[in-house]
Every structure is written in C-alpha cells, then in structure tokens.
A and B are shown apart, each in its own frame.
Chain A
Amino acid sequence: MGNYFFETEGPIDRVDGKQKVTGQALYAGEYPLEKLCYGVLVGSSIARGNITAIATKEAENAAGVLAVITHLNRPAIPGYTGEGDSGPAGMKLMSSPAIYFAGQPVALVIADTFERAQHAASLVKVAYKTTESSTDLSTQLSKAAAPRRGKSEYSRGEKNAYKKAAVWIEEDYVIPHEVHNPMELGSITAVWNGDQLTVYDKTQGVKASQRSYAQLFGVPQDNVRVVAPFVGGGFGMALRTWPYEVAAVMGARKVGQPLKLMLSRSQMFTLVGYRPHTIQQVGIGATRDGILTGISHDATAATASYEEFTEGVVRMTQFMYSCANVDTRYRLVPLDVSVPTWMRGPGEATGAFALESALDELAYKLDMDALDLRKKNYAYTDPESGLPYSSKFLMDCYDQGAEKIGWYKRNRQPRSMKNGEWLEGYGMSSGVFGAHRPAATARAVLAADGSLLVQSAASDIGPGTGTAMVKIAADVLGLPYDKVRFELGDSRLPPAPTQGGSGTNSGVGAAVHDVCTAVKEKLILAMNEGKAGFSKQPQQEWLFEKGRIGNGAESISFSDLLKNMGQSAIDLTRDSKSGEERQKYAFYSFSVHFTRLWVHARTGVVRIKQIVTVADAGKIVSEKTARSQMVGGAIGGIGMALMEEAVFDHRFGRMVNNNFADYHIPVNADVPDIDTIFINKPDPYINPMGAKGMGEIALIGYAASVTNAIYHATGKRIRELPVTPDKLL
C-alpha cells in the first residue's frame, strides 16, 4: 500500500460523463434493434384471491398484437420447479390463478408498438374471486414469527438489562413502506437467437442475472449474455431478477422477436421490491453518568405471504456501542403484499433510526449531550466479535463534524433556539456498515500504443465505478487518466460481484489494483533486464509517471518498452479476494450525520438548513464521485425522514399513492448545501487501496439526525416516519 498511489493528476471527472450529458449513454430500454416489439404487463386489481376467468380475445384481436400470455397459456419456464420460494425470480410468474398481492402480473401483452401493446393491455378483462386480504402490519403483530432462515435472536450478557438501569427509556419506532424508485423505470430488452439469449437489463449484477436467466430458461450459462453498461439508479431495486424480467425473456422467446418491456412508474411501486414497514421497540439504559448498561432491540417487519425476505434491522445494535448486555430479536409477519428487497442502507438504515433516536432520548433523560453520550460508550474493539477493528476513525468523524456545524455552540435545551416564526434545531446520529471485500476478477491489457484497457463485469448504478477503477489503474501504473479505459456491465467480462452492500469499490478495486500491479511487475522485470537500453543499469526503484518509466535521468514510454520487449501487448487476468485478515479484524465503515433545521411553529413545515455528513470509509479513491455519493445518501435520508411513505387502502390491499405526485421524494428546493467530510485514512487490512465501502453509510442513520433535530427545535419526539407537518401540530 501507500507507494502505489502517486495521485497522478488532480480529481478525476466521471469517465462516462460525456456520454451521460449528451444523451449517448444507452440504458436497458434504449437499444435500437430490428423487429423490436413491446411488452406490457397487466396487474391484478385485487390483493388476494383467484382468477376465475380471463378474457383475452379482444386484446388478441387488437391491431399489432403478437401474443397475450396468461396463466392459461404461459409457455413453460423450466427453472420454475417445486413449491415454496421459487429461486431467483421469486413469485412464479403467471403460474396459477392464485393472486398474492395487488398489481401481481396476470397477463403479458405483446404488440408491435408500445401504444398498441398498452391499448391491448387495457382490453384484457379479468374476473376474480376475492378473499379477505391483510396488508396492515400494525394490526397483524400477533402473527409475528421468527424467519425460517437466519438467526432470529441474539444476546450477550443479561437480557432486558436496561430495565435495571438508573436511567432508561423504552419506546416504539416505526418505519413505513418505502420504495426505491430509481429514475430509470424497470427496463429490459430480451433477444433470443436460437438458444442464445442476450438481455439488455436494468441490473446491479450482470453475472447474477446471467445465472438467473440460464437457470430459469434451462440454457447453459455461456449461452446467456447480460449487458448493462449504464444503469439508471438502483438503490437495491435491481439486486435480483424480477418477474417482469422473466416475463420479457419468456415473451421474446414466444414471439421470436426482440422484446422490450419498461414498467410504468406505478408498477415500480409494486413489482420491484421496497423497504418493508417495520415496527421496532428499543429499550436502553445507562448509569447516571451515561455508561450504557443494557440495550434491547426488537423488530417486526412485513414480508410477502409467498416469499420470505429478511434483513439486518437489529444488526447495528449488536456492535455499534460498548455495552455488556445486549439482546435483539427480529421477526416477520407475512402479508398480502409483494416481496420486499434491500433498499439502500438496507435493514441497518431501519434499525439505525430506532437506535440513534433512542440514544438521543436517553441523552436528554440523562441531561447529557447526545454526542458526548456516544463518545462515552465508544467501542474500541468490536463488541460483538471481540476482534480489534481493521480501522476505526469514528471519533475523528464526531469531532470534525461537530466542529463544522458548531454542535457545541447550540443551546441544548429543546425549543430554545428561534428565528422569527421558525424554531431551530440541531440533531446528530451515526451510521455503520460492514466493510466487505467481495471476490472479483479483472483483466488488464497494456496495448502497443501505451494505453491500458481494464475489464471486469462490475456494475455502475451511479456511484462512479468506472471512474474509481480508472483512478486506481492510473495510479498504480502512473498513467494519465485518458490513457485508461475501464469496461464493465457485460457478463462476458471477467466475473465481478453484484453491486450491493458497499462492496464494489473494495472488491473490484482490489482486482483492478492487483492486475495492474502484475502488469507493472512485468514492466519492471523488463527494465531490470535492461530492455530500456538506458546508459546506467540497473535501478532499485523505477519511477512510473505519465505513461513512462524512468530513473530520474532517463525515461522510456510504455509503448517503446513494449516494442523493445518484442511484445505487442501485455494481457493479464487476476483473481482477487480477501484472506485470513477477515478472521483477525472487524471491518466496518462509519458515518456521522449532523443536521440543522427549522420548523415552522404554526404550520409544522420543516426546512433543512444545513447538513454535515462525515465518513470514515478508509482511503477515498475518487473524491469527486465519493462526495456525490455521500450527498446523495443524505438526500435519500431527507426523503426517509420527512416524506416517503407508501400508503395503502387496507380495505382493498392496494397502494393509493403509487406515483411521484403523491409519493414524495426530495426535490431540489428541499435540499440545502451539504458539507461532506472524509477522514480519508487508509484501512491497513481491507484491500491494497485501503478503501472501505461508502454507499450504505451515506444513508444509514441519517433520518435520526433529522428527527433528533426536530426534537431539539420543537420539544416533540416523533417516532414514526415520515415526519409530515401534521405530526408536528
């Protein structure tokens, strides 16, 4: 480590920026193909029951219609076998008349134009036998049960120890059903050529999607190519293969033409997962001087009746603070809703809202500063595993963030700071997420002209993967950025992990680093053999700069050295993965969020005035894109704190605000300037760059900084998100 980074040039601009600002970047529904046809899915209008009749004749006879597929005539999907959870595609698509949730696809209409497919879809008539549906978690808590898979309970020390503490609180915290809603709609274009399948797909993992399609359609994996060089946001929504994608691949095979299917925005609310409604209870107690003596965290989350989804809601409580007695429990309630999936931060963001709110409440009850309480219970070794941290600079995060926002200059008393009709408040919270290093493979080709091509089947849903990889490669070899090209988003490239859980930069970055280092070693070997023809020979350490290798006095270009070596290129591939360091250290990224806001005393309107968000994410590879990622996480957190909630009409089990006019996400006017601070100290063990992940910690915990600030401003503690103005009146 260390020496590899030459910081060749200044901050790197996004390498695919020009394509994105000129409209040249092609997303999954934008590939120009001959004989393209269009698929539209018809959704169930009931939440639970059975289809008793389905009339498709009128749709079939409509102009341009190529096929109408329902459970009555659906072509076989070989990978759908057995009962219960059905593998990569979740709910079986149009397998039977059974309806599990409102919006469930009941027919696929295929036509030669989008308009014709959409019109024909409106002509499909379905009759149902409706049975009573259950979509409200809050009325079904008695049905809570441990998940079938995974651990439901955890404890160290004594259970419910908080109740014996000198000072304690016990409260319920509620997260509603929230939906990812990336700006790009769920999109896919599927092309069959005999038993060869090409899929232009909105996916966070081309290799995982390739495996899914191969398994589902019973073809060898090598016959399936998944292409996704540009993905219009994901936030977890595209971590798995969904029924709409299976429908498109199936439909394309049926009609023998390339088929494009783009979900409507309202379908984005019901067909591609969401953060589940979760009700939590946290009990937390401390000595009078603020030493935590017990934390109990109980979470109950919604899942689908037809498939179980679990996530780490109570994980953070297990390892964030030094506390001898901790117990957690996680349970699920199956409802007549579609299956949830990981949404940025995933369960940890849900759990952090509860834990970080509870700490704030406890701090006020102790009459102690909320930041001081956290510092007092700082974990110097991982309380869960007992292992030392690979690196932890959370204390620096606390100090630098507090300094920047003027934390200790505020008046800590609730409702004590005013600005005309506006009440001012400060709030803070922390976030943590495992710093992973998934296995990855990268190929590097140093060409005769001295340019470098690096490849790996990674994804970029927005963080700037390609940009970070170019930076790593350029830094290792001392190449100008414009001499390096990184190819991603194609399952034919060397394998890379799915982009999720903040692992791409670490895992793929390590592979890129390793393969570039191997190229470098080849060049060094040639230099040591005198291939440069320098007057003085040999050299202990060669300088790599601007595409040349030298000893200070003389230098040679990569291109000329390759010529002297008699090679047209250096072409290497390297696998890269973590080792036994994972058993020796606890690997985590940390964040701290500070928010200053105003609450209008008479209307309850909240205006975020200032955000300072601080990350200990190890070495920052590409600062510009990293800042965007942190800023984006905080903005996602504003939505979570103040706006986002999918509202159901439980009488019918249907969502009523499944559009952007009614389901609010932050808009430009909701967002102030955001300061991001990086501690930027390399982690010595995680990977050769020292870079830890950042995607999740950017969001995890953020919402609590808002609700804590609202308490400070108003004296009102809101424990149910989102904090809409009515809750403050």
Chain B
Amino acid sequence: MSKTLPTSDEQGKGASRRDFLKWSGAAVAVSLTPSVVTRAAGERADETIAGFFEKMPLKLEVNGKLHQLQVEPRTTLLDLLREQIGLTGTKKGCDQGQCGACTVHVNGRRINSCLSLAVMNEGQKITTIEGLAKGDELHPLQEAFIKHDAFQCGYCTPGQIMSGVACINEGHAGSADEIREFMSGNLCRCGAYPHIVDAILETKKGGNNL
C-alpha cells in the first residue's frame, strides 16, 4: 500500500478508455446539442455526458415480454433484471458465479446471470422464476418444492428451481446421485439439499412436460 496519495490534479490522469470516451463523448455532444452542454458545463458535465453516451441499446425478451432498453455495457443481466426491469425473483448471492442464486434460463439453457453482461443477451429469450408458472398454476417443480419443503429461507430457491428445471430437461435427473452432482452449482445455506433432490426426482418421475 502506497503511503502517499496522488494529488487531485494527478488523479485520473491515466489515459483510460473511459477518459477517452469522456473526451470524444463531449466533443460529439457539442456538435449535436450545444445548449445542453453549456447548461451541463458544471463540474460533472464530462462524466454525465460520458455516462449518456456509454449506454447501448438492447432488445431482449423476458418471460415472453419484449423489452427495449438502454443499458451500460458493464451492467450484468442479473442487475438488469433486478434493478431496471424490476424482476427481483432472481437473487444476488455473490456476483461471482459461485452460488447459483441468480440462475435464469437463456433460450432454455441455465446460466448464472451475474456472469452475463446484459448486452451479451441481445435478441435472447430469458426466463426467470417469475415466468415459470402459468398464471395461478404453478410449475410442477414449484409445486414439488412446496410439497417436499425444499427450502427454508427461500433466498436460493428461485435459482434452485430454475436450475432444477434445466437439470431435468438436460437429462441429468436420472437418479438421486446424478441430481446431487448436477445441482451442486446451487448453494443452499439452510441445508435443504435432500428435499431439493426429492422434489426434482418426483417431478422427473411424474414425466411432467417442463
């Protein structure tokens, strides 16, 4: 750890991509809307303008509904769902792809949404826990989770269910041991694992159309 700090003049002198964007963004803004820039000529204008120009258009389908959005490239699919689209059923447990709480389906395939940038999902079909039930009729695995008490606090549950549905569809739910293996990317601190296995096994055996 350095014992001294850069002065505020020196701070931010490094030529980062973001600094370049601030510059070029400001230049474009001047040519387009000079009055806006003049008004924004306060201390933070450069960052504000850079922020505006750093947003990218994104079209994607979530639970059958089309969304047209402007998002920052650094926004994850998880944060897009939770903070911009308002679907908080997908949980944030680590932001590092280590816990599985944020599991969603992209075109039917399970992924950790915290490891996927939102802009990487252009044109994709996303399914979250909110999109699993058909109206009031729960998905068979949701029913089985309730029946087998396959959760306690409920925080990992949406990820477990999304993962469980995919686990069955992938053909990885042939036995209790296989389920244990293919569900081990979804952590549960309350310790509902045996009941999660029961719920998935029963749903698989039920032969329900998932």
Contact = CB atoms under 8 A, between A and B. Distances in A.
A17 interface: yes
B87 A183 contact: no
A335 to B, nearest CB: 20
B189 A235 contact: yes
A158 interface: no
B92 interface: yes
Nearest to B82: A30
Contacts of A636: 189, 191
B92 A262 contact: yes
A660 B96 contact: yes
Given A13-B147, A116-B51, A667-B187, A463 B152 contact: yes
Interface string B57-101: 000000000000000101100010011001111111111101101
Interface stretch (A20-28, A89-97, A190-198, A317-325): A20-28
Nearest to A120: B47
Q: Size band of the A side of the interface?
A: 35 or more
Interface in B1-60: 1-6, 8, 11-12, 43-44, 47-48, 50-51
Contacts of B92: 29, 185, 262
Contact of A629 (B129, B145, B152): B152
Contact of B191 (A27, A127, A264, A635): A635
Interface string A664-698: 01111111111000000000000000000000000
B6 A631 contact: no
Interface in A35-78: 45-46, 52-55, 57-58, 61-65
A111 to B, nearest CB: 10
Interface residues of B, number: 74
Contacts of A62: 47
Interface in A446-471: 461-464
Interface in B124-153: 128-130, 132-133, 138, 142, 145-147, 149, 151-153
Given A462-B190, A665-B187, A184 B91 contact: yes
B154 A25 contact: yes
B190 A628 contact: yes
B154 A631 contact: no
What DSSP secondary structure best describes chain B's contact surface? Answer: loop
A32 interface: yes
B56 to A, nearest CB: 13
A162 interface: no
Nearest to A187: B92
A128 interface: yes
B166 interface: no
A463 B190 CA distance: 9
A582 interface: no
Nearest to B154: A20
Given A14-B149, A21-B142, A53 B5 contact: yes
Interface centre among B8, B94, B128, B195 (most CB of A within 10 A): B94
A233 interface: yes
Contacts of B173: none
B203 interface: no
Contacts of B3: 52, 127-129
Contacts of B194: 631, 671-674
A63 to B, nearest CB: 4
B153 A668 contact: no
B192 A632 contact: yes
A291 to B, nearest CB: 37
A668 B196 contact: yes
A151 interface: no
B168 interface: no
Interface in A401-447: none
Nearest to B186: A668
A668 to B, nearest CB: 5
Contacts of B133: 22
B193 A668 contact: yes
B88 A183 contact: no
B155 A27 contact: yes
Interface of B: 1-6, 8, 11-12, 43-44, 47-48, 50-51, 72, 74-75, 79, 82-83, 86-96, 98-99, 101, 128-130, 132-133, 138, 142, 145-147, 149, 151-158, 161, 176, 179-181, 183-197
Interface of A: 13-14, 16-27, 29-30, 32, 45-46, 52-55, 57-58, 61-65, 113-116, 119, 123, 125-130, 180-185, 230-235, 262, 264-265, 461-464, 624-625, 627-629, 631-636, 659-661, 665-674
Given A23-B90, A230-B154, A233-B189, 8 more contacts: A55-B5, A183-B189, A231-B153, A232-B153, A233-B190, A628-B195, A635-B193, A667-B193
21 contacts: A14-B151, A17-B149, A22-B130, A27-B88, A30-B82, A57-B11, A63-B50, A127-B1, A183-B153, A183-B187, A183-B190, A184-B93, A185-B94, A265-B95, A265-B99, A628-B149, A628-B192, A634-B191, A636-B191, A668-B193, A671-B191
